[in-house]
Amino acid sequence: MNCTCYFQSPIGLIKITGTELGISEIIFVEEKIGTSSSFILKVVEDGIHQLEKCFQGKLKIFTLKLDQKGTEFQQSVWNELSNISFGKTISYQALAIQLGDKKSTRAVASANAKNKLAIVIPCHCVIGSNNELTGYAWNLERKKCLLEFEKYTQQINLF
């Protein structure tokens, strides 16, 4: 059984979908597609609550039960992304090296792009080797906003 709800963040509308197993999707959308579920699973309610706290500057580590489907390689990339500290960035190449294969940079970028758990699995924290913002499924302006927000909250020590 799926449950879908929407959360209006400061940088756009977020669609949150979950199952009894966990949150399967947190993505930016331009508009509500269909209607929200007539029921709310606790895991989706927790997702909304934690996103609210994050955008208020009161949360930097998510503790949500997740249920994102992907290949073994994609899962390994997403797990490594989860280890990125709030407010920090890493290059695609450095991420590939951490995963044990510098030559897998393109595959790492592809797995990063398939992440459907925006913000929670911080794919926005992956940048080019030249420190340039590159690629973000939900547009580079949002990526820039998220990185600036995290940097700002780190600087003023809201946590």
Q: What is the DSSP letter of 66?
A: B
7-28 pLDDT per residue, tens: 999 999 999 999 999 999 999 9
- Strand 22-29 vs strand 126-127: parallel, antiparallel, or unpaired? unpaired
Residue of 3, 5, 54, 123 marked active site: 123
Asked if 133 and 102 count as a contact pair (C-beta separation under 8 A), the reply is: no
At residue 155, the pLDDT reads: 74
Residues 6+ apart with CB under 8 A from 70: 78, 111, 114
- The pTM score is 0.90
At residue 150, the pLDDT reads: 93
Structure-block tokens of residue 57: 């500057």
CA distance 90 to 93: 8
Asked if 148 and 11 count as a contact pair (C-beta separation under 8 A), the reply is: no
Torsion angle, alpha carbons of 102, 115, 64, 142, to 10: 100
Mean pLDDT of the chain: 92
Helix 72-81 to helix 105-113 angle (10° resolution) is 80
The list of the chain residues with pLDDT below 70 reads 34-37, 156-159
At residue 40, the pLDDT reads: 84
48-65 pLDDT per residue, tens: 999 999 999 999 999 999
**If you search the block for the tokens 């490594």, which residue do you land on?**
80
Beta strands in 10-102 (DSSP E): 12-19, 22-29, 90-91
At residue 96, the pLDDT reads: 97
At residue 138, the pLDDT reads: 92
Count the neighbouring beta carbons within 10 Å of the beta carbon of residue 148. Answer: 10
Is residue 5 part of the annotated active site? The answer reads: no
